[in-house]
Amino acid sequence: MKKFVSACLLVCPLLALAEEPMVLCIEDQAAAPFTFPNKDGTMQILLKMASKEAAVPVNLTIAAWKRCIENTRSGSMNGIVNAGNTPFHAEYAAFPVLPTGKPNTGMSLASMSVMAYRVKGSKASWDGNKFTDVSKPVLIPAGFATISDQLKSLNTPFDDNVKEPLRNLHKLIAGQGEIVLGFETEMNSLIAGRKDVADKVEMVPTKFMTTDFYVAFNKAYYASHKAQVDALWNAIPKVKKSKEYQDAIKDIK
């Protein structure tokens, strides 16, 4: 009996720990087709399936992006969904990495292309290395360190005072900027659905950047729950390749 009690003292806390759901934060603004505040996007479905595959319970919580960052930084939430592995996020969050220390892109939730957009007829452009005929700050969505860190590395001024991509497009049309950067799938869908914008805005053909987005975890949480987090990360690439997942996301826009 004493041996059983001693074993339980060692094992039972671990079982309780394993059963405690991870609390992951998702932005309250739609990032189609990846996340939505009022329905499941491709990332939400992927995480729910990966949670089941890894036998690791997950709770998805909706909040403003800055709140997601601060709650993950403080540890009041365990992780953040749809974060790029940038210097900004890497200060407080752990990402899946290879033995070399490089990001493990196979464990990303999605890979996204960032494109530049301009008013039709404008000479403002991006040639793959630098912006040309651009005298005003580049318009970008607020809170996306993936994009802002890249612009900082190029010493390019930017305006990230607006969160919603549509508002940035309206600022572009109003002459408050000459280039808008945004995620290709989201921006093209947004433009195509609004004739007033589609008639005035075009995409610059040269890609600005491609980046991977992850579910990242508070560093202290990862240190104390490494087995559970690794299990979830390892389940992601398996689920992404599955027919069940591909069928589940095929009609999401």
Decide if 12 is inside a domain.
Answer: no
Domain that holds residue 147: 113-210
Residue 149 to residue 83: CA distance in whole angstroms: 13
Give the CATH number for residue 150. Answer: 3.40.190.10
pLDDT the model gives residue 19: 67
Decide if 172 is inside a domain.
Answer: yes
Residue 49 to residue 105: CA distance in whole angstroms: 19
Q: Cβ(25)–Cβ(80) under 8 Å?
A: yes
Do 172 and 192 lie in one domain? The reply is: yes
pLDDT the model gives residue 29: 87
Residues of the chain with pLDDT under 50: 1-18
pLDDT the model gives residue 210: 92
3-state secondary structure of 116: strand
Residue 72 to residue 87: CA distance in whole angstroms: 15
Number of Cβ within 10 Å of residue 188's Cβ equals: 15
Place of tokens 């939400």: 44
| Beta carbons within 8 Å of 26's beta carbon, 6+ residues apart | 35, 37, 43, 44, 60, 61, 62, 63, 68, 81, 82
Decide if 8 is inside a domain.
Answer: no
Do 55 and 99 lie in one domain? The reply is: yes
| Beta carbons within 8 Å of 68's beta carbon, 6+ residues apart | 25, 26, 27, 77, 80, 81
Q: Cβ(61)–Cβ(77) under 8 Å?
A: yes
Closest CA to 182 of 224, 140, 218: 140
Residue 145 to residue 85: CA distance in whole angstroms: 9
pLDDT the model gives residue 26: 98
pTM more than 0.85: no
Domains in the chain, number: 2
pLDDT the model gives residue 30: 87
3-state secondary structure of 76: coil
Residue 203 to residue 85: CA distance in whole angstroms: 26
Closest CA to 27 of 98, 81, 105, 102: 81
Left if phi > 0, otherwise alpha if psi is -120 to 50, otherwise beta: which for 155? Answer: left
Question: 246 — phi, psi (to 5°)?
Answer: -60, -40
Do 105 and 57 lie in one domain? The reply is: yes
Do 206 and 118 lie in one domain? The reply is: yes
Decide if 13 is inside a domain.
Answer: no
